[in-house]
Amino acid sequence: MTSFTLHGIPVSRGIAIGRAHILAPAALDVQHYLIADDQVEAEVARLQCAITAVHAELQTIWNELPQDAPAELGAFIDVHALILSDPMISEMPLDIIRSRYYNAEWALVTQIEELSSQFEEIEDAYLRERKADIQQVGERVLKALTGSANFLPKVDGNEGSASMIVVAHDISPADMLQFRDRAFSGFITDVGGQNSHTAIVARSLDIPATVGVSNASTLIEQGDWLIIDGDAGVVVVDPTSVVLDQYREKQARQIRERKKLGKLKKMPSVTLDGTAITLLANIEFPDDCAHAMDAGAHGIGLFRSEFLFMGRTGHAHKLPTEDEQFESYKKAVVAMKGRPVTIRTLDIGADKPMDFAEQTALNPALGLRAIRFCLSEPQMFMTQLRAILRASAFGPIKLLIPMLAHAFEIDQTLAMIAQAKAQLREEKIKFDPVLPIGAMIEIPAAALTLPLFIKRLDFLSIGTNDLIQYTLAIDRVDHEVAHLYNPLHPAVLYLLSTTIAIAAKAGVEISVCGEMAGDTQMTRLLLGMGLREFSMHPSQLLAVKNEILNSDLNVLTPATRKISRLYEPKAINEAVEQLRLL
């Protein structure tokens, strides 16, 4: 095979070299082609084989159900086996192959779609929902047909395992969870944007990744040798030995540079002029606190609690219970040994859907996500608030609310927190009565009406990922508009600098916890705007600290003021580059 190169969006730095492990498509998105007369029976046999394989697979899952598995799980598998045996699935697609000459995948998907639309018209809500079961069975057969495994093989840290690179059409943040306990060295997807949550998780795992590589999952074959250059967003398929050597050398250089940064761990984070800068960590799970401590973080600036609510298929409870959440929050607080832990309340929706809730919003990024969802589900929200408050008896916790835009949302949230406190008081359960409450500033409307927030809350944290998405009206997960995602757009810089300045003037603590905070190219700009608190992935912390140690605010502050008067992109880019040379 000849070597070729693919281009995408770089989302997580570093070089990865390894063999491709292709993940099956998650959706019913397949190739469509017509087959010749003499291929019909072979195609029919291929589909029959896949159906038989899925029967066997379901049987194995049934046999291996743990003793304490909820009864519904067995019933659920039975339903799938019944659907699979129904002639509508086991025979109709074969007829489609014979009569229309469709390839097996196309025939199967045609029939599933036909059945799904019939189910949509059923009045009985329970039966209507069985549509999802039919689609899941269809997906299983498709996976058997394409021969690609949906799950990553478990690996035990032997030599070969570390060189596995995952290639997929898309990976949901929930699917990324399974990567946490599997060794692999990089990932590539056909779709996705710079600040999609999938990309954010890749960065937190600290593995090279490139997304938005159009057709990667069809062009790359199982077992192909791959190089990911996560800095440039380049993927080299079946590299020549010369190219391989060049990248190995680059990889070794990067490892040496990282080692050098390791020496900064114990150094205080102060600028050349002596200003102390707080460096906090973003985490998804309590176990990530170990990385945060290791990197020398002053605390947790963003605990994305929604990850506790994802990947729960197979759990007895769809949502984590109050006790389950309490244990997780307590674990984080204890692990941080007295350093503050900022827990953000559930930010579900948009590109972080719940496993069990079907995404029906017409425009999920503008829909019922984060605090909007929580306020519409008061019982669920109350459970989380109680769990967080209970954990606050074990160490310093700060409560952070995502996606606020309206005064009444803040007031309703504060009223619910007061109610949770009153309940705990009555039950004689301990909590921190003065636990600080803060808001994410991530909707332009919030950035433009800061006095509403400052009056009601104790601290603010700018979520630049969403602030950029909503200011520039581009979906952060859509690779077709990824080129428009620009942290240096003058409108973004205006909102950032005014928000930091107004908060500082009011004496309200303010941080940035979006991806900009961990981007070393932005460190000096943010320092110059007056930012003194940065929250980022632990893996970025030392590189940002290195920038801070070499920055002089007496020089940066006036230079940054000049940038805020610029509008032309070229002039802004040049001025930001200049900051890095000061």
Sketch the per residue contact string, 303 through 332, with ligand PEP: x for CB under 6 A, - otherwise: -x----------------------------
Tell me the closest approach of the beta carbon of residue 365 to ligand PEP, in angstroms. Answer: 10
Residue 463 binding Mg ion, by CB under 5 A? yes
Integer Cα distance of 566 and 581 in angstroms: 19
Work out which of 190, 466, 478, 519 binds Mg ion, going by CB under 5 A: 466
Q: 554, 533 in Cβ contact below 8 A?
A: no
Among 488, 499, 495, 421, CA closest to 453 = 499
Tell me the closest approach of the beta carbon of residue 467 to ligand PEP, in angstroms. Answer: 7
Integer Cα distance of 193 and 10 in angstroms: 9
Q: Which residues contact 563 (CB under 8 A, 6 or more apart)?
A: 493, 525, 528, 572, 575, 576, 579
Residue 475 binding Mg ion, by CB under 5 A? no
Residue 208 binding ligand PEP, by CB under 6 A? no
> How many helices and strands, by DSSP H and E, does the chain display?
23, 16
Q: 229-288: which residues touch Mg ion (CB under 5 A)?
A: none
Integer Cα distance of 515 and 195 in angstroms: 7
Q: 449-478: which residues touch ligand PEP (CB under 6 A)?
A: 463-466
**Which one of Mg ion, ligand PEP, none is in contact with 304 (Cβ closer than 5 to 8 A by kind)?**
ligand PEP
Integer Cα distance of 463 and 199 in angstroms: 16
Residue 409 binding Mg ion, by CB under 5 A? no
Judge whether 180 is annotated as a binding position: no
Judge whether 476 is annotated as a binding position: yes
Considering the complex, state which of residue 220 and residue 365 has its C-beta at the smaller distance from ligand PEP.
Answer: 365
Q: Which residues contact 202 (CB under 8 A, 6 or more apart)?
A: 11, 12, 176, 187, 209
* Region near Mg ion per CB under 5 A, out of 118-126, 277-285, 441-449, 502-510: 441-449
* Region near Mg ion per CB under 5 A, out of 238-246, 349-357, 463-471, 536-544: 463-471
Among 218, 208, 203, 205, CA closest to 187 = 208
Q: At residue 383, what are phi and psi to the nearest 5 degrees?
A: -60, -45
Look up 197 and say whether it is catalytic: yes
Integer Cα distance of 332 and 296 in angstroms: 15
Judge whether 120 is annotated as a binding position: no
Judge whether 339 is annotated as a binding position: no
Judge whether 524 is annotated as a binding position: no
398-425 per-residue burial string, b: 16 or more CB within 10 A, e: under 16: bbbbbbbbeeebbebbeebbeebbeebe
Residue 514 binding ligand PEP, by CB under 6 A? yes
Q: Which residues contact 39 (CB under 8 A, 6 or more apart)?
A: none
For every residue of 314-371, DSSP letters joined together read TSSSSS--HHHHHHHHHHHHHHTTTS-EEEEP---BTTB--SSS----SSGGGSS-HH
Work out which of 442, 475, 519, 547 binds ligand PEP, going by CB under 6 A: 442
Residue in 21, 80, 169, 197 annotated catalytic? 197
Size of residue set near ligand PEP by CB under 6 A: 11
Tell me the closest approach of the beta carbon of residue 384 to ligand PEP, in angstroms. Answer: 16
Look up 21 and say whether it is catalytic: no
Judge whether 465 is annotated as a binding position: yes
Enumerate binding residues for Mg ion (CB under 5 A): 442, 463, 466
Active centre residues (catalytic): 197, 513
Residues that bind ligand PEP (CB under 6 A): 200, 302, 304, 347, 442, 463-466, 513-514
* Residue list for the binding site for Mg(2+): 442, 466
Binding residues: 304, 344, 442, 465-466, 476
